[in-house]
Structure 1
Amino acid sequence: KGLQHDLATALHQAAGKEDEVVHRNVRVKANGDFILVNLTVKPIADPEALQELYLVTFDQVGVDKPAVQKGAPAQAAAPKKKGEPRLMQELEFTKRRLQQTIEKLQTSNEELKSTNEELQSTNEELQSTNEELETTKEELQSINEELITVNSELQGKLDALSDANDDLQNLMNSTEVASIFLDNDLRIKRFTSEAKRVSNLIAIDVGRPLLDIVSKLTYDRLLEDAQDVFLTLVVREREVQAADGSWFLMRILPYRTSKNIINGLVLTFLDITKMKEAEQVIEAARSMATSIVETVREPLLVLDDQLRVVSANQSFYRTFQVTAREVEQQLLYHLCNGAWNIPDLRSLLEEILPKRASFQDFIVDKTFPQIGRKVLALNGRRLEQEAAQPGCILLAIEEVKGHEGKVAE
């Protein structure tokens, strides 16, 4: 009896402090007498199952004897009113609880005040952060608008680049020129459809070395030529023939970027089959004409527009007993020690090319070195050539016995 208020107070304190609480000299009634005990309340930490429980111990320290005044006669203590001690204990307990509550309230008020100040500071920081975020948002909106503009410009450039690439691809295909682009390692970067005529290229060959591609050309030094051009940067041209008999003009040149950086090679193959065939026809015709000229018994001379001898037939060399070295590339009026320096003949010859004129039976009576006096009938006319070739004059010489026609000595 008498523990209700002290025990409740000790438990409340222990719960608040989470530490051991000791109340000393607590007056407790036991077996009809009052004793003094030390009341200890301690939170239980271990084991985990007993956490949030408290260990209450009582340690008796003595017997509470009623106080007697010195010199007063021993007599029974004056009786107290019923319930007064209990009321006093409750009052004392209430005072303690009130004091503890006030202290806790003050502590809580101080903590709340501190927390309020921190919240105010945090609120100010949040307001500042919010303003920064608003500023950042505006900047991001501005950047986003710029990015949209830049993206539109880039999209326009991409569209223009795609159109240019399509135009270039169509242009390359329309030229019917086989083109192969190589990188610095001589690997295939791209090629035109015509390139399939000179090699067995397919779409998946992009990235493969040129060495791995099977060529349709009879020329076997393509790789060596490409390596030489890459090292020397000197353009190389060569006429090559394909296995099917087609002829191509092969050009290998360095691939230069807009910054003048060498970034591989370009191989082009121009079909010159028709030109080769035309050359063969021309060569055959020339051989035939030469054969005819050589079989003609009369001396013949072919002169250029400067009246320089381009060629002569064997009959001319035999008739005038001269050699090709003495005649070819010499001016007509220097031949035979100047025997052909005839002003009237020179005038006639100079009119043939510009006026498309001709003459016949121009009689020359001259004494020539080694063969003596000869009377010759000369016929001159223009030789028809291709438009790009300079005009030539054919001079035919025939020895005559009579003196008909114009005579020049």
Structure 2
Amino acid sequence: MVKKKMGSAENETGKHISFPIVGIGASAGGISSFGAFFSAMPEGVNINMAFVIVQHLAPDHKSILTEIIQRYTTMKVYEVKDGMKVEPNCTYIIPPNFDMAFINGKLQLLEPPSPRGHRLPIDFFFRSLAHDQHEKAIGIILSGTGSDGTQGIKAIKEEGGMVIVQKPDTAEYDGMPKSAIATGLVDFVLPLVEMPSKLIAYANHAFFIINKTELTISQKHENELNKIFIILRSNVGHDFSNYKASTINRRIERRMALHQIEMIEGYVKYLQQTPEEIDALFHELLIGVTNFFRDPDAFISLEKVIQKLFVNKLANDTIRVWTAGCSTGGGSLLNCNPH
């Protein structure tokens, strides 16, 4: 049954869009998963999100995915054209034989550099979405073989976004869902029929309700933050009290949004009553960021120190450098020629 289309507001704000973007990735078995997902979407509701579907498609065949998805949703469904603006309450579908990226509120199509069989279009799109939209990036992994999307959800979580994965025993092919779940970074593992309601509840709390009430963690919540630090230190042995405040606050606010908890006092109680949330918050705070030179001021200072090491050195002299442990590796010792 074809449903009546829902109108959408024009997006003229470019990169600084006010609504979340939901990337949905699938390969084998994806079409039936898409149908079940959109069929579960409530009718007559202003979703105020945009959906972008990245499906593994045969490069030499015309896709009919747009027509198929339109049968299950009231939203307008488009096959993406290069430079297309993204609007809320619309769904966008990658065309065959293209990689797709998101930048400044628009979808860009790129000719893939790798031959078929070596491409990871879901990872490619999820990474661009994360880097552009940060906490407004949401990634969903549905049925499929292989591991495409796994690296992409890591990027989304690094930027403070949210990830949902189809429950493997409900997927026609469980390779992609299981690979994503193995990262330990997935927020919700759900059957398809439960995804839309969870997604809407999260988005309303994280981007609309909180924004309207201006509920943010600030200095006046110092006592509650200290209680959270005490709970973490008592249970996992790590002291986060001297970590960067903006990062700590953003990650705690995200956990509150996931559980629709509006007051930080309520989140403290939830931590005390829910041991698995302590572990989830701990891992959330330790999500490694893979961008090198991420803190430019520190590297500028380091450059000045390194320059002094080369003063009065000859061409054959050796400088020994120890690289300290980082998020995903240990220390190492290497030699470098001063010239």
The structure with the largest alpha-carbon Rg is: 1
Higher relative contact order (CA 8 A, sep 6+): 2
Query: Considering the TM-score relative to the shorter chain, is it more than 0.5?
Result: no
Identify the TM-score tier after normalising by the shorter chain: under 0.3
TM-score normalised per structure 1:
0.22
TM-score normalised per structure 2:
0.25
Structure 1 or 2: more strand by fraction = 1
